[in-house]
Amino acid sequence: MKTALVTGASKGIGRQIALTLSQNGYTVIGTYNSTLVEDAENNIIYKKCNVADYADVSSLFAYIKDNHKTLDAVVNCAGVSWVGLLQDMTEEEIAKLVGINLNGTIFICQQAASVMVKQHSGNIVNISSIWGNNGASCEAVYSATKGGINAFSKALAQELAPSGIRVNAVCPGVIKTDMLNCFSEEDLQSLAEETPLGRIGTVQDVADMVEFILSDKAKFVTGQIITVDGGFAM
């Protein structure tokens, strides 16, 4: 059985990715930081990890190396958002977004690469955002972290390809998760109407794309920034 690590796996997109992979033959190690979900029946093993903490990430990979023969896939989904004007953000809020979204992805990928290079195989998917491509007003720092993930993913794909490791990023559009709780029903309806396919995306829409990228059907795909947004950002 293959082993996958999914960060931010206790809710939202990360949880659905973990469930989908567990239903497709993976033993999943899912990380959480504050919200714990028990999913032993779904081949999901939950481990507490603050991805922005290098020591925490190192401890997580010590566990993986000691308890699992291989690490076949990594999906970096841990992330936070902040909506508002840049000048209204505190230093702590800026540091939190950069620490979790960007640094956390880099820390996990660094540790994963050390395992996968030795295996001469592996697959990494970094969850980004359409705002990493286009930028969003009132989400400047969030957009910066996701743009960083996109550039990092392309560069890392080049670095790891000779070792047989694929790296891609998936950019969700407007997806129904807790991150949309700050919007009214009227706002959500407007976002659905702005989407060419006429609806807000689901966590399963993103999970299905991730499952495809990790499969052999995408074995010649690496270094790509793949958008899942119903045409919102065309």
Domain membership of residue 91 as a residue range: 2-173+204-228
Question: Is residue 9 one of the residues assigned to a domain?
Answer: yes
Q: Residue 131, class by beta-carbon neighbours within 10 Å (0-12 exposed, 13-18 middle, 19+ buried)? A: buried
Closest CA to 131 of 155, 152, 148: 148
Catalytic residue among 26, 32, 46, 142: 142
- Please say if 26 is a catalytic residue: no
Question: Is residue 84 one of the residues assigned to a domain?
Answer: yes
Q: Which helix (H) or strand (E) holds 134?
A: helix 131-134
Residues forming beta bridges with residue 76, ordered by sequence position: 126
Pull the structure tokens for residue 215.
């499969």
Q: What is the total count of domains within the chain?
A: 1
Place of tokens 């505190």: 90
CATH number at residue 87: 3.40.50.720
Closest CA to 64 of 115, 20, 24: 115
Report the C-alpha gap between 4 and 75 in whole angstroms: 8
| pLDDT tens-place string over residues 77-112 | 999 999 999 999 999 999 999 999 999 999 999 999
Closest CA to 106 of 49, 164, 156: 156
Count CA within 13 A, CB hemisphere, residue 216: 1
| pLDDT tens-place string over residues 15-58 | 999 999 999 999 999 999 987 776 655 779 999 999 999 999 99
Question: Is residue 94 one of the residues assigned to a domain?
Answer: yes
| pLDDT tens-place string over residues 196-227 | 999 999 999 999 999 999 999 999 999 999 99
Question: Is residue 209 one of the residues assigned to a domain?
Answer: yes
pTM of the model: 0.95
Report the C-alpha gap between 209 and 7 in whole angstroms: 17
Question: Is residue 190 one of the residues assigned to a domain?
Answer: no
Question: Is residue 210 one of the residues assigned to a domain?
Answer: yes
Question: Is residue 22 one of the residues assigned to a domain?
Answer: yes
Question: Is residue 193 one of the residues assigned to a domain?
Answer: no
